[in-house]
Amino acid sequence: MKLFFLVLAATAVIADDLVPTCSKPVYCNSELLHHVQIPKIYPDSKTFVDFQMRKDEETTLNDFQKSLNQTDGKPSKQQLEEFVKEYFDDSGELEDWTPSDWSSEPPILNSIHDEKYRQFAKDLNQIWLILAKRMKPSVIEKPEQHSLIPVTHGFVVPGGRFKEIYYWDTYWIVEGLLISGMTTTAKGMIENLIELLNKLGKVPNGSRWYYQERSQPPLLAKMVALYYQKTGDIEFLRDNIVALEKEMNYWLDTHIIALNKDDKVYTLLRYYAPSAGPRPESYNEDYTNAQRLRNGRDPTEFYVDIKGAAESGWDFSSRWFLGPNGDNSGNLTNIETRNIIPVDLNAIFFNALNNVAKFHSLLKDPRKAAHWASVAEQWRSNIESVLWNEDDGIWYDYDIINESHRKYFYTSNFAPLWMGAVEQRFLKKHAPRVLDYLYNTEVLDYPGGIPTSLNNTGEQWDLPNVWPPEVSIVIGALEALDTEESKRLAKDVASHWVRVCYKGFSDTKQMFEKYDALVAGKYGGGGEYTVQEGFGWTNGLMFELFEKYGKELKSSDSIEDTPVIPADNHSNEKLSSISESLEVIPLNPSRSTESFEN
């Protein structure tokens, strides 16, 4: 009973314990933010918080308070627009940047035998120049007037509305840059994240102050492993090992939770971002949803859970919904991220622990290597004990309220394989069962790629959307199973995904952050904002697959119009009309080598 109360206490949110979303009130916690965001002066809530102040923060807030007093606290939309125009600048904080190590003929092209795909890779290589940015001098000179956090090195942004560094996006971007021969740029990207870590005590969700109180999947150590694998730069490890340990301790200090399963106590991580109020970059959306809460639910809990889901990178998905019966039904008002133990977070954290242990071995520090290896091994054991489902032969997220596995298909179920968080004896025993699970979901039948979930909620991390990082996870998992069948299937999935993206690029000359599983090459939809082009992690995955399979991939293979067999939870109008054409809907013009860690 005592253990049961331990779990319940860990899930509670106490409003008095919450800190502000960030230390810059203009962008995070002010009457100004509230009054500007609620009437939707800008269709995208992110627009305003990306503006820079023309004056200092104190003057801006004081003058706005005077304006409020003159209007009895009820300024008109026009008055708000005029105030923003006078006190804020929307000219942008970044400038174009050409990395010194970019080449129009990167060596990876020699590994791609298909002529059309080689040209495709050359076109993708050009996109790095579009996405490469650096800070304007004004950000460095007057950082207090910006929501953007200054960093030293140039960087590659994801694209579209995302005009800053994003933590987990950067992993696939760094991977793509390294494969493209841009080692110095990749190193600078990693060093920027370490700067942010040292400044904030964590790697934030993104390099904006309004992301200050939440992180994202801890992939920094894996990025360092990729860089070291390419360069053998032991001094880089020596210079940054303390920072990597700092990140491990941050997660252990702030995100750990104990649970009782089968009369044993286990500790694992959850996503948890306890700060007050709505997300500044989605203020209107969060505030509006909080007004719709039912059954007396506290908005404070809702705001913490919505930020926790944003911290996961899966913003948003039925994966975080706890319906009335503990299922994944409902909508955003049912979100309870803090009460779910995620498979992918814990697999990624194991990998980070394991890499830090290996780095210490390389640096000839056996005592610290043994310490972190011991923590990693305990983490791997806990993943197996808590998240593995023996009946279904797969890993599932765990519901700590209902003390049960969340037995739904999500691509994150495969993360332990991708992250090497599975012992060899366990892998050999269960590899056929994992493959059977994948086949039985029928997710391989979708013409546009493997959907992130099989629950069509309208949220962007659910059916029918396909996300490049999750495709990378599934392919990596299949490779890790290391059977003839799994390796063949990994190549088939990779080959199909490259054809999907090639078709989309051929039709639109764009790469997108997400795609539609129902229509090969069509961009995805749903969620809080329109689909974004660019796109950093999509580019990165393409180079990953060209490096692994470039000699075998053929553009002459056609996209197969394989009909989807709808399961019961697929039912909706879009799925029932799966026979629609595979043509891409035109855009609105306005709009390897063996891994180090395994």
pLDDT single digits (tens) 287-339: 999 999 988 899 999 999 999 999 999 999 999 999 988 999 999 999 999 99
Q: 571 pLDDT exceeds 60?
A: no
Q: 547 pLDDT exceeds 70?
A: yes
Residue 397, CA atoms < 13 Å, CB-side half-sphere:
29
Percent share of the chain, pLDDT over 70:
90
What pLDDT, on the 0 to 100 scale, is given for residue 587?
26
Residue with token string 């596995």 = 405
Which of the four pLDDT bands, split at 50, 70 and 90, describes residue 229? very high
Q: Which residues pair with 388 in a beta bridge?
A: 395
Using DSSP, state whether 503 is helix, strand or coil: helix
Which of the four pLDDT bands, split at 50, 70 and 90, describes residue 527? confident
Dist. CA 280–CA 213, nearest whole Å: 12
Which of the four pLDDT bands, split at 50, 70 and 90, describes residue 575? very low
Q: Which residues pair with 566 in a beta bridge?
A: none
Dist. CA 18–CA 32, nearest whole Å: 21
Which of the four pLDDT bands, split at 50, 70 and 90, describes residue 559? low
Dist. CA 56–CA 216, nearest whole Å: 30
Range with lowest mean pLDDT among 82-86, 260-264, 384-388, 420-424: 260-264
Q: 53 pLDDT exceeds 60?
A: yes
What pLDDT, on the 0 to 100 scale, is given for residue 16?
67
What pLDDT, on the 0 to 100 scale, is given for residue 563?
34
Over residues 481-499, mean pLDDT: 97
First to last CA, the chain: 39
Dist. CA 429–CA 459, nearest whole Å: 36
- Bond before 359 cis per omega within 30 degrees: no
Q: 2 pLDDT exceeds 90?
A: no
Which of the four pLDDT bands, split at 50, 70 and 90, describes residue 8? very low
Q: Which residues of 108-136 are buried (b: 16+ CB within 10 A; e: fewer)?
A: bbeebebeebbebbeebbebbeebbbbbb
Q: What is the largest CA-CA distance in the chain?
A: 74
Over residues 199-209, mean pLDDT: 98
What pLDDT, on the 0 to 100 scale, is given for residue 312?
98
Dist. CA 546–CA 119, nearest whole Å: 12
β strands within 221-318, DSSP E = 256-261, 264-269
Summarised one tens digit per residue, pLDDT across range 114-154 is 999 999 999 999 999 999 999 999 999 999 999 999 999 99
Range with lowest mean pLDDT among 54-63, 159-168, 476-485, 549-558: 549-558
Dist. CA 574–CA 526, nearest whole Å: 13
Q: 220 pLDDT exceeds 60?
A: yes
Which of the four pLDDT bands, split at 50, 70 and 90, describes residue 13? confident
What pLDDT, on the 0 to 100 scale, is given for residue 533?
84
Count each helix (H run) and each strand (E run) in the chain, helices first. 22, 14
- Specify the amino acid at residue 578: I
What is the phi/psi pair of residue 142, to 5°?
-130, 65
Dist. CA 571–CA 442, nearest whole Å: 15
Q: 598 pLDDT exceeds 90?
A: no
Over residues 179-187, mean pLDDT: 98
Is residue 545 left, alpha or beta, with left meaning phi > 0 and alpha meaning psi from -120 to 50? alpha
Which of the four pLDDT bands, split at 50, 70 and 90, describes residue 560? low
Over residues 40-54, mean pLDDT: 96
Residue 21 · residue 28 · CB < 8 Å = yes
Using DSSP, state whether 453 is helix, strand or coil: strand
Residues annotated as catalytic are 315, 513
Residue 145 · residue 128 · CB < 8 Å = no
Picking from 187, 133, 126, the residue whose alpha carbon sits closest to that of residue 156 is 133
Over residues 513-526, mean pLDDT: 95
Structure tokens at 471: 């495709």
